[in-house]
Structure 1
Amino acid sequence: MIDNSHLELMNVAPEGVAVYQTVPYVPGFRVDAGHILQAIEQLEHCALALSAGGMDVIGQAGTPFSFAHDDGLAWARKMQARLEEVAQKPVTMMGLSIIDALKSCGYESVAVASTYYSDDLCARYTRFLDDAGFRVLTLKNWIHQGLLPDRRLLEQPRYWYPNSLAYQSARAVAEESPEADCILLTGGAVHTMDIIAALEADLQKPVITSDSAFFWSLLTKLGVKERLDGWGELLSRLCPQG
C-alpha cells in the first residue's frame, strides 16, 4: 500500500514540521474490509517503527481502517488506545480524526461524498458516523452519483483520483442535503487540500475532508498554534481568532 497523505501534510504544515512514513504490506491490496483488516494486523509494528525513529506524533492514514471492523467506532477507539500504549506516543487514526473534528466544530448533521468507497464501505461508514452521534443526511459514492460509469473502475488499485471528481461529488451531496451542517468529503486517496477553500466559498458551508481532519488532529497533538489560512475553516481553528 502507498499513501500520499504525508506529502499533502508537508504542503500544509508550517516550517519545522517533518513528516515520515512507513507502510504495512498486503499482497494484492484493495480498498475493502478484508484487505484492510489484514493491513491492520501490522499497525502495531508500524507504530513501533515510527516511535523508534523519533516521531513525536504518529498518524494512521486511511479512513476505512477506523470502520472496516464489524465493531466500528468502539473498536477504533480501542485500537487507537492500543497503538498509543505500544508506541508510547500520541496516535491519530484518520477515521477517528474526522469524528473528533466534527465534534470539535459542533456539527450534528453531515452530507457525505464517499468518493471511491464500495457499497459495503459506504454502509459501514454510515453506521460509524451514526454510532458517533451524527445524522447522515446523504452518503453517496461516485457510482451512486453517476460520476463514474463502471464499478470496476473503483476496484482497481489506485492511490490518487482527480480533484474534479471530488469537487463535483461534494457539490452534489450539498445540493441534495442543503440543511446539512457540514459537507464531509472522505477518502485519503483524494487529495483535497487544494479545493477545500474553493468548495467552502462555492457552497457557503464548511467542508471537512479526510486529509483536513487528519492534519488538524496531528498538528493539534504536535502543539502547532500557527494559524493556517487558505486550507479551509477547520485548519484556521488551530489558532484562536484575533
Structure 2
Amino acid sequence: MTALGFLYPGHFAEDDYPRIEQLLGSDIRVDLVHTGIGEDAYRLEALRGTGAVDQLARSVEGLRLSGAEAVVWASTSGSFVHGWEGAHEQVRALARAVGMPASATSFGFVHAVREIGVRRVAVAATYPEDVTALFADFLRAGEVEVAAAHSAGSRSAEQVASWGEPEILALARAADTPRADAVLLPDTALHTASHIAALEKDLGKPVLTANQVTVWEALRLTDRRVNAPGLGALFSREPIVQV
C-alpha cells in the first residue's frame, strides 16, 4: 500500500481525489487534508496568502498520522504566484514541516509535461489574465514552451467548482492551438477527473489537469508508476487518436 498525502485549499473539487483513487485501481491510498484559504478570490494578494508556509505547516499533522509517504500542496495558483524560486522555498519549508518528500501542483505540471514528452503547451486557465501570465512565466522557468494561454477571467474557486463538462470543454477548446502538443488546465477547483478521456478525445492530444497532475506528482515522489488509461495520456502509454 502506498499512501499519498495532499493539502487541499478549501472545499471545491476535492471529490476528484477519491475518483482518481478509484481509477488508479491499485494499492494506492489518497489522504486529503483541507487547508484554510482566507478570501476566495483569484487576486494575487489573496492567492499568496493561501499558500503561506505557516498556514500550510499548521495542516500537516493529520498527514503524518495518516502514514503518508509524500505530500503535495494541491494548489497550482497558491504555488506559482510566488515565482519559481519562491515556490521552491515553499516546498522546501513544507518538506521540513511534514518530514517527508513534498511538492506542489505547479511543479507537477512541469514534471508531467516532461513525462509525456511534449515541447509546446497551451494553457487553459480559469484565472484572470494577470494570474494566467504568472503561470505561463512559471512554466517557461521550468523550460516548458507556452504556445498559447487563454484566461476565462473567473474571480473565485467557488465559481469554477460549479462547472461541468460543457464549460470545461469550452475552456480547453478556447486555449487550444495547432502549435500546442498538449493542453494544460491548471485549476484544482475544476472537477476534471471524470472528463479527461473526453477532453483528450475531443482535442486529439494529451490534456493535463490540476488534480490529475497532483496525484501523479505524489506518485512520482514515491517512485510509483501506475497504468490507468481512464486518467489520460499521463497515466497511459497508449497513443491518442486524432478524431
Name which of 130, 133, 143 aligns with 1:133: 143
What is the match of residue 75 of structure 1?
Answer: 86
Mapping for residues 87-166 of structure 1, pairs under 5 Å = 87-115=98-126, 117-143=127-153, 154-155=155-156, 157-158=158-159, 160=161, 161-166=163-168
User: Per the alignment, do residues 132 and 64 of structure 1 end up closer, same or farther by CA in structure 2, a change over 3 Å counting?
Assistant: same
What is the match of residue 215 of structure 2?
Answer: 215
TM normalised by structure 1 equals: 0.82
Contact 2:10 2:37 in 1 (8 A): no
Q: Any unmatched runs of 5+ in structure 1?
A: 144-152, 238-242
Deviates more, 1:179-188 or 1:155-164: 155-164
Cα distance in structure 2, aligned partners of 1:74 and 1:131? 10
SS in 2 for 1:137: strand
Cα distance in structure 1, aligned partners of 2:166 and 2:63? 34
SS in 1 for 2:208: strand
Give, in angstroms, the shift of residue 167 of structure 1: 0.7
In the alignment, residue 34 of structure 1 is paired with which amino acid? E
User: Per the alignment, do residues 234 and 39 of structure 1 end up closer, same or farther by CA in structure 2, a change over 3 Å counting?
Assistant: same
SS in 2 for 1:92: strand
Contact 1:192 1:209 in 2 (8 A): yes
SS in 2 for 1:23: strand
Over aligned residue pairs, what C-alpha RMSD do you find?
2.2
Cα distance in structure 2, aligned partners of 1:189 and 1:202? 22
Cα distance in structure 1, aligned partners of 2:143 and 2:11? 29
TM normalised by structure 2 equals: 0.82
Cα distance in structure 1, aligned partners of 2:33 and 2:114? 29
| Aligned length, in residue pairs | 223
Give, in angstroms, the shift of residue 235 of structure 1: 1.4
Mapping for residues 19-34 of structure 1, pairs under 5 Å = 19-34=30-45
Contact 2:40 2:157 in 1 (8 A): no
Cα distance in structure 2, aligned partners of 1:189 and 1:89? 25
What is the match of residue 97 of structure 2?
Answer: 86
Identity of aligned residues (%): 25
Cα distance in structure 2, aligned partners of 1:234 and 1:130? 20
SS in 2 for 1:55: coil
Cα distance in structure 1, aligned partners of 2:30 and 2:12? 11
Contact 2:186 2:210 in 1 (8 A): yes
Residues 3-25 of structure 1: per-residue CA shift (max 9 Å, x gap): 45543122122354333333332
Cα distance in structure 2, aligned partners of 1:169 and 1:139? 11
What is the match of residue 75 of structure 2?
Answer: 62
Give, in angstroms, the shift of residue 78 of structure 1: 2.2
